[in-house]
Amino acid sequence: MSTENLHGENAVQKLRKMVDKIDIGMLCSNAAEEALHAIPMSRQEVDENGAIYFLFSSESDTYQNVQKNKNVSLLYSDTKNYNFLSINGTAEISSDRARIDRYWNKMMEAWFEKGKDDPTIRILKVTPLAAHYWDNKTNKLVTFFKVAANALTDSQSDIGRHGNLDL
């Protein structure tokens, strides 16, 4: 596996591409001395700086955790294609009506029974501080054969790349 660290705009583009493709990631929060709290979250947007936005409830455990500790992690996994992304960042909560209006869709009605005007709806913005990715240069089948060939022949053909994303 080769290393390819990305910086600036290239890092943001890589992050955006991976988050948009995978969509649902595990958001991990932690209120000080408690165990990690992880929940699946679907991104609403990845902005031009790499910040990731979500809709969530002020009645959730995540909301309570972020009130106490702004440090969060996002973990994205596309096992079908062997693509993975790990992000550590800081969380910021707002009630930005313009963003709520922009992000609202039919799927949100399942989570917010009172509709778009539900008073518990909040925006969660995660600003990445550090990110690391692993991606596959080919499809899963080719990667499997390369791994098997490497094991059988004791060779080192490149099966993908990984690196830090310096946003």
| pTM, two decimal places | 0.86
Tokens of 102: 């922009």
Per-residue pLDDT of 76-131, as tens digits, reads 999 888 899 999 999 999 999 999 999 999 889 889 989 999 999 999 999 999 99
Question: Does the pLDDT of residue 138 top 70, yes or no?
Answer: no
Question: Does the pLDDT of residue 158 top 80, yes or no?
Answer: no
The range of the structural domain enclosing residue 54 comes to 2-166
Question: Does the pLDDT of residue 34 top 80, yes or no?
Answer: no
Q: What are the residue ranges of helices labelled H in the chain?
A: 8-22, 61-68, 97-103, 140-153
CATH number at residue 136: 2.30.110.10
For the chain, what is the domain count? 1
Question: Does the pLDDT of residue 75 top 50, yes or no?
Answer: yes
Q: What is the percent of the chain where pLDDT is above 90?
A: 72
Per-residue pLDDT of 14-28, as tens digits, reads 999 999 999 999 999
Q: By C-alpha distance, which of 136, 126, 99, 102 is closest to 18? A: 136
pLDDT of residue 150: 46
